[in-house]
Amino acid sequence: MKKIIIILSFVVLFSDLSFVIAQDKVNQKSQCIKAMQSITATECLDHVKYLAGKECEGRGTCDEGFDKAASYVADHFRDIGLLPLMKDSSYYQVFNIDRNMILDGNEFSLELLLKSPSGKDTLEIKYQLEDDFLPAGVSSSCDIRINVVFAGYGISSKENNWDDYKKLDVKDKVVLILGGTPPVKDSDFGSLYRISRKAEMAKNAGASALLVVGKPIGTISTYQSIPVVTISKKVADDLLKGTAENIEGLKHKMKQKQRSNSFNLKHNIHLKVNSELITDCQTMNILGYIEGSDVVLKNEFIVVGAHVDHLGAINDHVFYGANDNASGSAVVMEVSEAFSLMKEAPKRSVLFIAFTGEEMGLLGSSYFVENSVIPVNRIKAMINLDMVGSGDDAIMVVGGNSFPEFAELFDTLTSQYVHVPVKRRWASSNSDHYPFHKAGIPAVFLYALRGVPTYHTSKDRPETLDPEVMENVGRLVFMTAMKLANKESISFRYIEKGK
């Protein structure tokens, strides 16, 4: 009898306990959903309005506007109770960089030679900043009236049997080139399409300045090359006046003949660029974390990050960077707040980072990985957000093909909570997840597909965004990061493209 009583009470106790555990799970789940629902379109948009508003002046790395954005994020981290990761109990990981500043006073005009009874007359056509031309981030200063020579794609590449500078004298001239790479069959020009690489080739050929045909969009750089300006196709066609050529025709010819084309142009240009290289200016990543609740697993981290820097301003054109990447920063802030609302933290620690210097070449994320305050091998997964403010077609997971189990988490959780299609791409080096990926950490980068086409222009403003997209991305990232932080073990398979 006694035995039966003991067994009976054990059964009662045990079922009680399993009831409590089950109840706990239900509570935790409903708490989780409640926290997820705290991420709203309105709150995301409020953050974007500040970060991409007048106050932050385009958040150019080392500009006052960036520092204001950084303290806005740090204040938020402090207010919601995130812990500082730095040894000095600061939310800032400070370091120095060089930055080439494009200052005010940039001008570009064409001096069109006209035939007139009196001989030669010139008509000056002045061009508009951004619509017609824009100095590149690497540009040095100049104030020149000068001859122009057309030099194909501005590429010298032995491997691809292509040399736009062969037998061409560009000394003390401005070189006009096409953007992109030559249409050579079975060629691989690697990174030679980059303006920075083309600037070096023009410099080596002895050119005074470089004009690149393409959409004039903003860039920002750590160093100075020769004066470099992007010009629209319309302006390039103006420059070709009197030669019987136009840009489309030249492209077509080079494709047909599979060889370069170069010649002198008839008219002079006036180009004025005003820039200054600032060395050793101070900038910072902003870091805050939630400590895990499991005695062992709290030593491991899940990182959720986004770059908060953008391009600053040129003349009175501010590159507000609402979609790129006030949107991602806003989502990181909202996701961190949702975590802070949980009564019990997840097992692992979750670290939130707003990176600096992304637009200058992933400077902040690289610095973080190379100078991490925590051993990098304790970071078990990383989610990066870049341009998540517009485009409700689908959410792209860059690196999803490379880490299929990681991508499956997004698939499962979107079907449960967000109901936005999730697509996958192979890993790439185009945003702040990359330094983590290189360090062997499963890292993915999320962006919203088919957003507004305002990339790196002054039109990238808060009013062009669809804040619902940020809400969806935020909720999905919160649930995924939560799942990762509570997972017993994380060992994602890595598949290399083509293998």
The residue count for binding Zn ion (CB under 5 A) is 3
CB-CB contact of 442 with 384 (8 Å):
no
Contact segment (CB under 5 A) with Zn ion among 18-26, 116-124, 380-388, 442-450 equals: 380-388
Angle at the Cα of 186 (from 181 to 187), degrees rounded to 5? 35
Contact segment (CB under 5 A) with Zn ion among 229-237, 280-288, 325-333, 401-409 equals: 325-333
Shortest Å distance, C-beta 387 to Zn ion: 6
Shortest Å distance, C-beta 16 to Zn ion: 53
Q: Which residues of 165-180 are buried (b: 16+ CB within 10 A; e: fewer)?
A: beebebeebbbbbbbe
Contact segment (CB under 5 A) with Zn ion among 242-250, 337-345, 382-390, 440-448 equals: 382-390
Q: Tell which residue, 497, 328, 359, has the closest CA to residue 428.
A: 497
Q: Long-range contact list for 196-200, CB < 8 A, 24+ apart?
A: 196/138, 196/221, 196/225, 198/153, 198/154, 198/155, 199/136, 199/138, 199/225, 199/226, 199/228, 200/225
Give 132 or 386: the residue with its C-beta nearer to Zn ion: 386
CB-CB contact of 202 with 164 (8 Å):
no
Token digits of residue 79? 């207010």
CB-CB contact of 59 with 308 (8 Å):
yes
Shortest Å distance, C-beta 424 to Zn ion: 20
Please give the backbone phi and psi of residue 45, each rounded to the nearest 5 degrees, phi first: -65, -35
Shortest Å distance, C-beta 314 to Zn ion: 18
CB-CB contact of 161 with 155 (8 Å):
no
Shortest Å distance, C-beta 223 to Zn ion: 20
CB-CB contact of 145 with 269 (8 Å):
yes
Shortest Å distance, C-beta 138 to Zn ion: 18
Contact segment (CB under 5 A) with Zn ion among 14-22, 323-331, 392-400, 468-476 equals: 323-331
Beta-ladder partners of 268: 111
Helix (H) or strand (E) holding 18: helix 2-37
Q: Region of 59 please: left (phi>0), alpha (psi -120 to 50) or beta.
A: left
Contact status: 336 vs Zn ion (CB under 5 A): no
Shortest Å distance, C-beta 324 to Zn ion: 4
Shortest Å distance, C-beta 377 to Zn ion: 27
Give 325 or 454: the residue with its C-beta nearer to Zn ion: 325
Give 211 or 470: the residue with its C-beta nearer to Zn ion: 470
Shortest Å distance, C-beta 447 to Zn ion: 9
Shortest Å distance, C-beta 451 to Zn ion: 11
Query: Using CA atoms, how far apart are residues 80 and 46, in angstroms rounded to an integer?
Result: 16
Helix (H) or strand (E) holding 32: helix 2-37
**Please, how many CA atoms are within 13 Å of residue 467, restricted to the half-sphere of its CB?**
15
Contact status: 386 vs Zn ion (CB under 5 A): yes
Shortest Å distance, C-beta 58 to Zn ion: 13
Member of 222, 325, 372, 454 binding Zn ion (CB under 5 A): 325
Contact segment (CB under 5 A) with Zn ion among 137-145, 181-189, 218-226, 324-332 equals: 324-332
Subset of 445-484 contacting Zn ion (CB under 5 A): none
Contact status: 219 vs Zn ion (CB under 5 A): no
Query: Using CA atoms, how far apart are residues 385 and 431, in angstroms rounded to an integer?
Result: 9
Give 285 or 325: the residue with its C-beta nearer to Zn ion: 325
Give the contact letters, 390-429, x = binds to Zn ion (CB under 5 A), - = no. Answer: ----------------------------------------
For the chain, report the end-to-end CA distance as a whole number of angstroms.
67
Q: Tell which residue, 424, 454, 484, has the closest CA to residue 326.
A: 454
Contact segment (CB under 5 A) with Zn ion among 11-19, 180-188, 190-198, 385-393 equals: 385-393
Please give the backbone phi and psi of residue 376, each rounded to the nearest 5 degrees, phi first: -60, -30
Chain length of the chain: 499
**Quick one: DSSP state of residue 464?**
G
Peptide bond into 160 cis (omega under 30): no
Token digits of residue 305? 């990050």
Contact segment (CB under 5 A) with Zn ion among 31-39, 124-132, 383-391, 394-402 equals: 383-391
Contact segment (CB under 5 A) with Zn ion among 113-121, 279-287, 322-330, 463-471 equals: 322-330
Give 31 or 464: the residue with its C-beta nearer to Zn ion: 464
Token digits of residue 77? 């981290």
Give 300 or 386: the residue with its C-beta nearer to Zn ion: 386
Give 300 or 324: the residue with its C-beta nearer to Zn ion: 324
CB-CB contact of 464 with 452 (8 Å):
yes
Give 125 or 452: the residue with its C-beta nearer to Zn ion: 452
Give 43 or 324: the residue with its C-beta nearer to Zn ion: 324
Give 385 or 481: the residue with its C-beta nearer to Zn ion: 385
Shortest Å distance, C-beta 454 to Zn ion: 12
Close Cβ partners of 480 (under 8 Å, ≥ 6 residues apart): 383, 409, 410, 413
Contact status: 324 vs Zn ion (CB under 5 A): yes
CB-CB contact of 276 with 221 (8 Å):
no
Contact segment (CB under 5 A) with Zn ion among 10-18, 40-48, 318-326, 452-460 equals: 318-326
Shortest Å distance, C-beta 286 to Zn ion: 16
Give 163 or 386: the residue with its C-beta nearer to Zn ion: 386
Give 216 or 364: the residue with its C-beta nearer to Zn ion: 364
Q: Which residues bind Zn ion (CB under 5 A)?
A: 324-325, 386
